[in-house]
Amino acid sequence: MTQQELAEDTHTLGLPQATALILGTIIGVGIFNLPYSLASIGPISIVAMALTTVGALALAVMFASLSRRMPADGGPYAYARAAFGDGVGFLNAWSYWITAWAGNAAIVTGWVFYVENFVNSDGVVGWSIVIALIGIWIPAAINLTGVKSMGVVQVWTTVIKFIPLIIMSTVGLFFISTANYSPANVSGETDLRAVGSAMAICLFSYLGVECAAVAAAKVRDPGRNVPRATVIGTLGAAVVYLLSMVAVFGIVPTTVLAEDANKASYSVAATTMAGGDWAGDLVALAVIVSGIGALNGWTMICAEMPLAAAKDGLFPALFGRISKRGVPAAGIICSSLFATVAMVVSYAGASGATVFNTLVLMSGITAAIPYAFSALAKIKWRREGGIGDLIIAIVALIFSILFIWYSRNSGDDWFVVWGPFLMAGGAFLLGIPVYVSMRRRSTP
């Protein structure tokens, strides 16, 4: 590959591809697993999804504004470093990197639910892990071949994943039974607590609003295309999210959604609508493709954040090296290895919705930190925007704090309840020696 071809290959994401990156990373398998994950809380989770959507749109508009000011690779990391210095920049880069690979572990765990619609229907843990390994490493292989290949896969998987969501958001509304919305709250908690807990889980479905900003160096004309892709992609996801959630909870009783045999919630709803398993199987196939697309996009993002930090001397130089295919291969491989470890550890300690929710909440905690610092950077730079920008940044900051506060599992076992914080804390501790080492190297 010539230098000119390499340069073209590393900047091949136009507006359609950048928008597909946003949609492809936001719409993974999270939304398709939410009804199962939220069944223990109940249909009141729809309210939580609506409120989470407000927060997600605030984040999208905020990142669009920040990307106009600073169309730099690394997104939230770049904003935090510019506003608050190297130390805070490293914290945000490390935190977001955890989000990316832990998010991949969560995505692949939910992806397995739909694959097991066809194989390993008994949910044998060993085989579930094998299936998850395939889901992690196929996207890694695609990313290692170059940005162009990644972009092509992202566009086509985004088109396919919209099919079941659009059907559920339109046709599904005609199959709703309002009786299924009662009781709204089955969690045993107050309505406020139930909504807060559900919001923390719902946030995972919107992770990715910042992806075009993170990959700004891969986007043509980032000052123009990144903000547009961010807002268009988030709005598109928000519409189908809300309508399809209303449909699924209205079609399938909460008690049925909570059963382990019905982890593939959208397939169950489709089967109920059509009166035959064929519909559920088609939805499962679409979700499998959707999951590959999400994992494909997030695998790229996993490498982009440490790449940007490595260029600034805050991550080991290994992460800043570009392969002959024009990609940061070390970041792709290391992130996939960490995702593999997180997935295996989670399966070893729990099963079903608990595994998925723990990884989801861990990702939410580590994502909310760079979200909050991005909001603080926007507030610090408030003179460059109007009162509207300031209000949006404040809303984004409040939502980020609330997402952290409510990121606890339900149950009586303290290890399970605080599992997301324990796993996130352990991942943060791994960053201390890295930061100390990089500081020593940069000190004369």
**Amino acid at site 186:** V
Buried b (16+ CB within 10 A) or exposed e, 344-360: eebbeebeebbbbbbbb
In a domain, 299, yes or no: yes
Number of domains in the chain: 1
Q: pLDDT value at position 441?
A: 73
178: helix, coil or strand? helix
Dihedrals φ, ψ of 13, to 5°?
A: -95, 100
CB under 8 Å to 205, separation ≥6 — which residues?
Answer: 26, 27, 30, 31, 34, 49, 52, 237, 241
Q: Do the beta carbons of residue 160 and residue 321 sit within 8 Å?
A: no
In a domain, 444, yes or no: no
Q: Round the CA-based radius of gyration of the chain to a whole number and report it.
A: 20
Q: pLDDT value at position 442?
A: 62
Q: Do the beta carbons of residue 99 and residue 423 sit within 8 Å?
A: no
37: helix, coil or strand? helix
- The string of pLDDT tens digits covering residues 131-149 is 999 999 999 998 898 877 7
* Angle at alpha carbon of residue 154, lines to 150 and 160, rounded to 5°: 150
Dihedrals φ, ψ of 219, to 5°?
A: -105, 135
Q: Which domain holds residue 153?
A: 3-439
Task: Say how many Å lie between the first and final Cα of the chain, rounded.
Answer: 38
Distance CA 413, CA 411 (A): 6
Helices vs. strands in the chain: H and E counts, helices first? 19, 0
In a domain, 268, yes or no: yes
Distance CA 205, CA 380 (A): 28
Domain of residue 309, CATH code:
1.20.1740.10
Would you give the distance in Å from CA 190 to the centre of its chain? Answer: 28
Tokens of 181: 């919305």
Tokens of 81: 């470093």
Q: pLDDT value at position 175?
A: 94
Buried b (16+ CB within 10 A) or exposed e, 110-132: bbbbbbbbeebeeeeeeebbebb
In a domain, 91, yes or no: yes
Q: What parts of the chain have a pLDDT lower than 70? A: 1-12, 72-73, 349-356, 383-385, 409-412, 442-444
Q: pLDDT value at position 152?
A: 76
Q: Do the beta carbons of residue 120 and residue 105 sit within 8 Å?
A: no
Q: pLDDT value at position 375?
A: 93
